[in-house]
Structure 1
Amino acid sequence: MAKELVSRDQVRVEDTWDLSAMYESKDAWEADIKFIEEKLAEISKYQGKVCESAENLLSVLETSAITEEKFELAFNYAERIFDQDQGNTEHQSMSQRMFALYAKISAATAFVSPEILACDAAVIDGFIASKPELELYRLQIKEIQRLKAHTLSAEMEKVVAMTQEMANTPSEVYSAFKNVDMTFPAIKDENGEEVVLTDGRFVPMLMSADRRVREDAFKAYYGVYEKYLNTMASIYNGEVKQHIFNSRVRNYSSNLEAAVDANNVSPQVYDNLVKTVNANLDKLHAYVSLRKKCLGVDELHMYDIYTSMIPDAAKTVKYEEAQKTICEALAVLGDDYVDLLKEGFANRWIDVYENKGKRGGAYSATAYGVHPYMLLNYTDTFDDMFTTAHEMGHSMHSYYSNQAQPYIYSGYKIFVAEVASTCNEILLLEYLLKNCTDKKEKAYLLNHYLDSFKGTVFRQTQFAEFEKTTNEMVEAGENLNSENLCKLYKEINEKYYGPDMISDDEIAYEWARIPHFYYNFYVYQYATSFCAAVAIADMILKEGAPAVERYKKFLSSGCTDAPVELLKIAGVDLTTPAPIEAALAKMGEIIKELEKII
């Protein structure tokens, strides 16, 4: 009998998140939606009058901030309750209402930025001087002015805002199709028992020491995707096209430029990453060669890339053990940091295990004024412990930033979002290596370190290169289809993994299962953040308190400066290739260290 996933009502309450910190009831949520609608009506009265006086400017900015803060809370509640069981139609409706309300807010406030931009900067400076309460909004106004060349007239901004609900359709269809409608077959596990494949179980199956299980899982899983490649290609093509509409209407030269400029990052940072990683593919090729040697196989296949190179060293890590180890490893960040970790573990910030209809993967999300929430799909693996540490890094970043900054500056840019999470992972790994006395266990940990480089720097840059190329194809007038997407993906895969890897036919379908391709040039930031985190963790372990103080200042900075500048507070300069080159040099050193041990 195949092992089926439990339904949501069968999950222990202690293993679920407690959403009551946001709202005690749906009625309270509805009340906030009504409040938001009322505030939108207030804002609309200022259309054409935003800069008539300092009082008007202050009122518009204050009311907009209050409205957005309430929306963030309502949105987070709806999305968290939806993600715990995406098959629940009531929760689907709540989620859809939030996206509709977001579009309404965008349309209703679309006139604000254009009117501020139309106002002489000297006049605004005079307003701030005459009304001290406006000083709070100086940085916000400066950011609006930075985007002047890409801000439209009030009327056009309203039209563009009205397209947002429609623009979400490709990602909504993808999510529903992938997480709810797609079903996978059962395969036999190591014990000969039938287990139904799911998104959450796929990678753990590929981590199996039994090669037959890995191959069966790989072929069965991608066999399902193969059936739907045309559908997936159409959905992705629609996603890219809606970004092209937005980038062109805002006078950007490309989707890439529009996406990174939203975070005040130059496209050169993106291109620099791809270029530097491509110049260091020899490190990944050496890793692949070492993996082939360790596994003792004549041919290394893509289904061999997740299993440990060190046989019989993998161990299960129960959730309770993971919590304890994470707290010990991150003690270098101070008692206040560890106390917050313990509070999160003890007070149901986290939805721990997989259930039927639950969104796959893992994330941390937060709304201002309440603690962060984390979604996991914990399966007692070593990697799951690192995922927990990773998401806790996001949660701590949000917590520190929310505590230190007013709402309008609390949300850090996506570019720095992966730094704190990855820093946690690296500190955990360094702690385990330091306290390891067993040669085989040390080899296993070094293998994990290498896998982190492979998965976060090389794999995410591989995704970034694919995403950049596919966007350029559509921008040049070419439609994306299953044939050209599969061909491109396989070619890039072969380049990255090199001659010692067999790029199986099925790997050409992998693009169809990557949800981050619907996040609009997100993935490159995993790679840049990993390299920054390597540097920060190294400083924390070598310098101690001074580096920790700098790091916490960075965590508390929200969006008070350009993200590249904020990273400089922590001691990292990503305007140069140096952090990327240094991180990849470290990978080379780890490969040599592991070669000596084995």
Structure 2
Amino acid sequence: MQKRSEVKVEETWDLTPLFESEQLFEEAIEALLTKASDIEQEFKGKIKSAQDAVNVITAYQTLYEALIPVGTYSSLSLSEDQTNDESQLRSAKVGQNFSKISAQLSFITSELLLLDEAVLTEAKGLAPQFEHYIDNLIKKKPYQLHPEAEKALAAFGTTFDAPYGLYNTTKLVDIKFDNFEVNGQSFPLSYNSFEGDWELESDTEIRRAAFAAFSNKLRDYQNTTAKTYDTHLKIEKTDSDLRGYDSIFDSLLFDQEVDRELYNRQIDLITKELAPHMRRYAKLLQKEHGLDKITFADLKISLDPTYEPKISIEESRKYMNDGLSILGEDYQNMLDRSFEERWIDFAQNEGKSTGAFCSSPYGKHPYILISWTSRMNEVFVLAHELGHAGHFYIAQKEQNIFNSRPSLYFIEAPSTMNEMLMANHLLSNSSDARFKRWVISTIIARTYYHNFVTHLLEAAYQRKVYEIIDGGGSVNASILNKLKREVLEDFWGDTVEITEGAELTWMRQPHYYMGLYPYTYSAGLTIATQVSQRILNEGEPAVQDWLKVLKAGGTKSPVELAKMAGVDITTEKPLKDTIAYIGSLIDQLEALSEELAVENV
């Protein structure tokens, strides 16, 4: 694994649009501290009228917009290489200063909520652009603490975020994987190489040996990681109790603007009704690869690995343009800019964050992190992250900073939509049975397995964890391992052998430090599946509806956004239809495999 200084510059992102120099970055922090003090001096204790409310929100908006590039620059610098001392210290400094500013300005929310609701309604009339912001404030009023308590909690912001930082330090800095051996040959191992290559390796002996070596190393750190996670959970529970929520679930779902019915439906229905389809897929993998048994370590392999092409970064650009062209000229311009202006960090290097993500700082262009392996499945990963980028690229043109970001429940709909559009494009451009089987298997193995199985089973496990915490309990490595294994065995039944080490997969996921996030992948993909079918059947009218949804940003609830796109998520029908669609894809895979087997006789 190369060091960050050794990778090709053209495969890295360019952070200079955020700050051209470290000096400008430092000056921006000082300016923020000065601005925060000015706002405190001008407004603290003086917010009495509707016009005062508008004035302080306007001042806060300006500060908030200046905070974003500072936080983004610090975060992305650390994500590209967690081993970099300068990035670690920069991140710590930003965290400390942001906590200071947050504590200093906590009076804004407290004083606004002390106003009579009629005054706040008047403020919305004076400044309609702040209506959404004020409405959200009013919703939080029952859970608002005394101003001094809010200030104290805000001051502890960095401390409360510490478990996530500790998790990443353990995972990306301290854990060092040894090479593993198969038949006398040594192979290198790291987090990124395992999740990007070895987990997908077609050679069964190498793949299973990599899984064993990877799991054995994780096991060495399970107790520290579990203690870190338990600390994070206790912070969430304490906050929920202090604010008077009925449960930790209600606390975490509050900002998502959905209730526990929608949350539980995703987990319960998929666990029950998708499992039989995915077990058929697992058996198909076993048959096509001639495996004596199929284990947890085998579930990520390609159905037809000899057919899967290697894709260069430049070739991926053509796939993006062709597959997503249906979204219009402005969207294509965004795609071109993302490559030409180095919005995307493709490099593989030591200390880089695992997986992939998109950061979309308001007022700047989005940034995407991915570790490019040249495997075709990375085309779908890149399309996914560009879905996030396109969403915020469009929303931020239309909405102010308070209105641009939708509920977490909806956040994965635009990303998974791009995966579906890419699949639709590939399927429509070939009638070859082997190619068609390869595309459909990629949809199952990447899009649906990742979002409807991996993340959904994380959500099922996470729910069990939160039930323990909500009841006043604690968790340790033994409990977390037991819960994870139970969830995996329940879903896969007797079809898949849950390999020793599979129970440790809870250690790999940073989403557990982001509230009730994992289940939202399946929620977003449910919406995306239904809308992508509309686009296939109806064409341009459905596309225009979808673009209107993207433009709406966070001005509407998830239910309202889905309805704009023609999907009613208040019922279980979209989810049931999506599960049935997955089943139909597996039907096609089985039929195509039989057809190809006959041809090859």
- For the criterion TM > 0.5, the same-fold answer is yes
Q: For the residues of structure 1 that align with 2:31 and 2:292, how far apart are their CA atoms?
A: 65
The letter for the 2-side match of 1:376 is I
1:564-583 paired onto structure 2 within 5 Å: 564-583=559-578
Match of residue 428 from structure 2:
434
Cross-structure match for 1:497: 492
1:544 counterpart residue number: 539
- 2:61 aligned residue: 65
Match of 2:458 in 1: 463
Give the equivalent residue in structure 2 for 1:186.
179
1:297 matched residue in structure 2: 291
Q: Distance in 2 between matches of 1:128 and 1:439?
A: 59
Structure 1 residues 193 and 330 mapped into 2: Cα distance closer, same or farther (>3 Å)? Answer: farther
**Does the Cα contact within 8 Å between 2:133 and 2:402 map onto a contact in 1?**
yes
Which shifted more, 116-125 or 57-66? Answer: 116-125
Q: Contact 1:352–1:376 (CA<8 Å) still a contact in 2?
A: yes
Deviation at 1:53, TM superposition (A): 2.5
Shift of 1:311: 4.7
How far off its partner does 1:532 sit?
A: 0.7
The alpha-carbon deviation at position 288 of structure 1 amounts to 2.1
Counterpart selection for 1:310 from 298, 304, 312: 304
Question: What per-residue deviation string (whole Å, max 9, x for no partner) do you get for residues 52-73 of structure 1?
Answer: 1333212211111111111111
Change (3 A) 1:128 1:431: closer
Matched, 1:77 2:73: yes
Alpha-carbon deviation of 1:354? 0.9
State the Cα distance separating 1:43 from its structure 2 match: 2.3
Equivalenced residues, count: 590
1:101 paired residue number: 97
Q: Distance in 1 between matches of 2:313 and 2:122?
A: 57
Q: Provide the C-alpha distance between the structure 2 equivalents of 1:322 and 1:427, rounded to a whole number of angstroms.
A: 15
Structure 2: distance between partners of 1:275 and 1:360? 29
Report the Cα distance in structure 2 between the residues aligned to 1:19 and 1:475, rounded to whole angstroms.
Answer: 41
Residue 587 of structure 2 aligns with which residue? 592
State the distance in 2 between where 1:446 and 1:72 align: 40
Tell me which residue corresponds to 1:273.
266
> Once the 2 structures are TM-superposed, how far is the Cα of residue 114 of structure 1 from its aligned partner?
2.5
**Higher mean Cα deviation, 220-229 or 310-319?**
310-319
The answer to whether the aligner puts 1:226 opposite 2:227 as a matched pair is: no
Percent identical among aligned pairs is 29
What amino acid is aligned across from residue 161 of structure 1 in structure 2?
Answer: A
SS at match of 1:501: coil
Separation (CA, whole Å) in 1 of partners of 2:491 and 2:308: 26
The alignment status of 1:147 with 2:140, answered yes or no, reads yes
Is 1:365 aligned to residue 359 of structure 2?
A: yes
Distance change (3 Å), C-alpha of 1:124 and 1:311: closer
Which residue is equivalent to 1:382? 376
Helix, strand or coil at the partner of 2:368: strand
8 Å Cα contact 2:406-2:557 kept in structure 1:
no
One-letter identity of the residue aligned with 2:494: P
- CA change 1:546–1:295 in 2 (3 A) is same
TM-fit CA distance, 1:295: 2.4
Distance in 2 (CA, whole Å) between partners of 1:398 and 1:93 is 29
Q: Which residue of 2 aligns with 1:195?
A: 187
* Counterpart residue type for residue 266 of structure 1: D
Contact 1:112 1:154 in 2 (8 A): no
Pairwise CA distance, 1:298: 2.5
- Aligned partner of 1:416: which letter? F
Q: State the partner residue of 1:32.
A: 28
The unaligned stretches of length 5 or more in structure 2 are 594-601
User: How many Å separate the matches in 2 of 1:515 and 1:278?
Assistant: 22
Q: For residue 285 of structure 1, give the secondary structure of its aligned residue in structure 2.
A: helix
Residue in 2 aligned with 1:157? 150
1:434 corresponds to which letter in structure 2?
A: S
Task: Give the one of 284, 287, 292 matched to 2:281.
Answer: 287
Shift of 1:553: 0.9
**Per the alignment, in what secondary structure is the counterpart of residue 302 of structure 2?**
coil
1:12 corresponds to which residue?
A: 8
| Deviating more after overlay: 38-47 vs 201-210 | 38-47
1:257 alignment partner in structure 2: 250
Shift of 1:139: 1.9
**Cα deviation code 1:233-257 (max 9, x no counterpart):** 1111111111111111111122221
Spell out, residue by residue over 1:408-447, the C-alpha distance to the aligned partner (whole angstroms, 9 max, x if none). Answer: 2122332221111111111111211222333222212221
Contact 1:78–1:95 (8 Å) recurs in 2: yes
Compute the displacement of 1:48 (Å): 5.4
**CA contact 2:406–2:556 (8 Å) conserved in 1:** no
Name the CA distance, whole Å, in 2 between partners of 1:370 and 1:161: 27
Deviations 1:141-166 (A, max 9, x none): 11100111111121121122122211
Is the partner of 2:180 in helix, strand or coil?
Answer: strand
Using the alignment, how far apart are the partners of 2:444 and 2:237 within structure 1? Answer: 36
TM-score by length of 2: 0.95
Match of 2:85 among 64, 83, 89: 89
Does residue 245 (structure 1) correspond to residue 238 (structure 2)? The answer is yes
Inter-CA distance 47–153: structure 2 relative to 1 (3 Å threshold) = farther
Partner of 1:330: 324
- For the residues of structure 2 that align with 1:149 and 1:341, how far apart are their CA atoms? 43
Are 1:415 and 2:409 matched, yes or no?
A: yes
CA RMSD of aligned residues (A): 1.7
Q: Measure the CA separation in 2 of the matches of 1:595 and 1:444.
A: 12
Structure 2 SS opposite 1:124: helix
Return closer, same or farther for 1:426/1:127 CA change in 2, 3 Å cut-off. closer
The 1-side partners of 2:329 and 2:52 are apart by 45
Which segments of 5 or more consecutive residues in structure 1 lack a partner in the other structure? Answer: none
Structure 1 residues 125, 487: CA separation in 2 closer, same or farther (over 3 Å shift)? closer
The match for 2:599 is none
2:344 and 2:369 in contact (8 A); partners too: yes
**What SS does the aligned partner of 1:556 have?**
helix
1:556 is aligned to 551
For 1:467 and 1:592, locate their aligned partners in 2 and report how far apart those are by CA, in whole Å.
31
Cα deviation code 1:371-430 (max 9, x no counterpart): 111111001011111111111111111100111112221223322211111111111112
Counterpart-to-counterpart distance in 1, 2:480 and 2:68: 35
1:236 pairs, out of 229, 248, 259, with: 229
Secondary structure of the 2:358 match is strand
Find 2:473's aligned residue among 468, 471, 478. 478
Greater shift after overlay, 405-414 or 523-532?
A: 405-414
The answer (yes or no) to whether the contact 2:199–2:210 under 8 Å persists in 1 is yes
Tell me, yes or no, if the aligned pair for 2:427 and 2:439 is still in contact at 8 Å.
yes
- CA contact 2:48–2:115 (8 Å) conserved in 1: no
Retained in 2: the 8 A contact 1:292–1:500?
Answer: no
Do the aligned residues in 1 keep the contact of 2:8 with 2:347 (CA within 8 Å)? Answer: no
Residues 54 and 123 in structure 2, CA contact (< 8 A), matched pair in contact too: no
Go from structure 1 to structure 2 and tell me whether the alpha carbon gap of 1:47 and 1:159 turns closer, same or farther (over 3 Å shift): farther
Does structure 2 retain, via aligned residues, the 8 Å contact 1:401–1:557? yes
Residues 359 and 367 in structure 2, CA contact (< 8 A), matched pair in contact too: yes
Partner of 1:520 in structure 2?
A: 515
SS at match of 1:364: strand
CA displacement at 1:128 relative to structure 2? 4.8
Query: Which residue in 2 is equivalent to 1:210?
Result: 203
Distance 1:285 1:26, change over 3 A: same
Matched letter for residue 267 of structure 1:
R
Question: Residue 529 of structure 1 corresponds to which residue in structure 2?
Answer: 524
Q: Distance in 1 between matches of 2:504 and 2:123?
A: 57
* Matching residue of 1:173: 166
C-alpha distance in 2, partners of 1:339/1:124? 41
Give the distance between the partners of 2:14 and 2:380, measured in 1 at CA.
Answer: 23
Sort the Cα spacing of 1:29 and 1:101 in 2 relative to 1 into closer, same or farther, 3 A: same
1:394 has 2:388 as partner: yes
Amino acid at match of 2:395: S
Whole-angstrom distance in 1 between the partners of 2:50 and 2:586: 61
* Structure 1 Cα separation of the partners of residues 104 and 112 of structure 2: 15
Q: Counterpart of 2:19 in structure 1: which amino acid?
A: Y
TM-score, L = length of structure 1: 0.95
What code does the residue aligned with 1:443 have? R
